[in-house]
């Protein structure tokens, strides 16, 4: 089993100055893990260390029986079978959308490129170049290009952040389907609670370069969302299936509250509806 194991230390340069980034953890093959934390906590740096775009100062990185980083060994990024989707797209300016995907595929399977274009809603944009695309369209192309390369590990750094909610949910499902089919290991950095609940069954929370929580999305994120107020009124933003339950995401002023409800409860509400949220500790109760 090709688990990804990290025991690394390096210097994190943040707005608070230089901080030690110390990560010791393991990602199970075929799993989806979310990385959360405030800006400057080390999330993007962690992805770059895994991808081989940055080297740790000390420690080890192993993928299955393969050593990626240890003492004098530092496997180049191009040999790691890792796909990384940045927030800034990093598309080739002189290539069309189809050419971007074909390049990632090394022109091995043109039919797969055509199928992926259709799945990602890019068929009509296939001959356009990045300058002819919106930011959201470019982000879709960047994600499609990463999938076209058939990585064993896929790293997503806020990869869906520029998309509207309906397309975001659609591509989240495509990611889930692709991951199940490929059995790739996926690590996603996201600030979207609904996205984390939909995609991941594990969340690692970073603060100032350290792991401060590592558990299920409910145990890591929901207690942090309780504002301590007893009664709030907000707008229902999303209702998303997360297995046997549903995750309801509500905007209450500047606060975002997420809570799990039963399917029967979820069926009583519609997106955009004004709801009342009663808070008690880490628990939230929704009513009209």
Write out pLDDT tens, residues 188-209. 999 888 788 889 999 999 999 9
**H or E element that contains 198:** helix 193-199
283: pLDDT confidence band, cut at 50, 70 and 90? Answer: low
Distances (CA, A) of 27 to 36, 91, 127, 209: 15, 28, 38, 18
User: What is the rounded CA–CA span in Å between residue 188 and residue 165?
Assistant: 17
Residue range(s) of every CATH 3.40.50.300 domain in the chain:
4-220
Distances (CA, A) of 140 to 89, 115, 148, 286: 9, 14, 12, 34
Per-residue pLDDT averaged across 179-196, rounded?
91
Distances (CA, A) of 104 to 78, 79, 176: 12, 14, 21
Can you give the pLDDT at residue 227? 47
249: left (phi over 0), alpha (psi -120 to 50) or beta: beta
Distances (CA, A) of 64 to 2, 24, 181, 182: 4, 16, 20, 17
**Strand, helix or coil for residue 277:** strand
Can you give the pLDDT at residue 284? 63
- Please answer whether residues 274 and 233 qualify as being in contact, where contact means their C-beta atoms are separated by less than 8 angstroms: yes
Can you give the pLDDT at residue 221? 79
Nearest residue to 205 (alpha-carbon basis) of 194, 157, 217, 195: 217
Look up the CATH architecture of domain 226-287: Beta Barrel (2.40)
For residue 20, what are its two tokens?
């030690």
Superfamily grouping for domain 4-220: P-loop containing nucleotide triphosphate hydrolases (3.40.50.300)
pTM over 0.85: no
Residue range(s) of every CATH 2.40.50.100 domain in the chain:
226-287
Please tell me which residue, 281 or 277, carries the higher pLDDT value. Answer: 277
Tokens 């598309």 map to which residue? Answer: 91
Per-residue pLDDT averaged across 145-165, rounded?
90
User: What is the rounded CA–CA span in Å between residue 169 and residue 190?
Assistant: 14
Can you give the pLDDT at residue 224? 47
């Amino acid at each position: 089993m090709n688990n990804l194991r990290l025991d690394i230390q390096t210097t994190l340069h943040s707005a608070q100055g230089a901080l030690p980034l110390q990560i010791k953890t393991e990602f199970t093959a075929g799993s989806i893990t979310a990385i959360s934390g405030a800006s400057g906590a080390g999330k993007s740096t962690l992805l770059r260390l895994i991808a081989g775009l940055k080297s740790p100062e000390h420690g080890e990185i192993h993928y299955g029986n393969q050593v990626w980083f240890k003492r004098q060994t530092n496997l180049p990024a191009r040999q790691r079978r890792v796909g990384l989707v940045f927030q800034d797209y990093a598309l080739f300016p002189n290539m069309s959308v189809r050419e971007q995907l074909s390049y990632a595929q090394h022109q091995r399977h043109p039919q797969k490129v055509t199928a992926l274009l259709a799945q990602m809603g890019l068929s009509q944009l296939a001959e356009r170049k990045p300058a002819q695309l919106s930011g959201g369209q470019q982000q879709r192309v960047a994600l499609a290009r990463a999938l076209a390369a058939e990585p064993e590990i896929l790293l997503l750094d806020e990869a869906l952040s520029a998309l509207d909610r309906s397309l975001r949910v659609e591509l989240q499902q495509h990611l889930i389907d692709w991951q199940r089919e490929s059995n790739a290991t996926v690590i996603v950095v996201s600030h979207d609670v609904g996205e984390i609940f939909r995609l991941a069954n594990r969340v690692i929370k970073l603060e100032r370069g350290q792991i401060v929580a590592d558990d299920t999305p409910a145990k890591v994120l929901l207690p942090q969302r309780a504002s301590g107020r007893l009664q709030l009124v907000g707008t229902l933003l999303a209702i998303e299936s997360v297995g046997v339950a549903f995750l309801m995401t509500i905007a209450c002023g500047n606060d975002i509250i997420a809570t799990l409800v039963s399917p029967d409860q979820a069926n009583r509400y519609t997106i955009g509806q004004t709801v009342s949220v009663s808070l008690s500790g880490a628990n939230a109760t929704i009513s009209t």
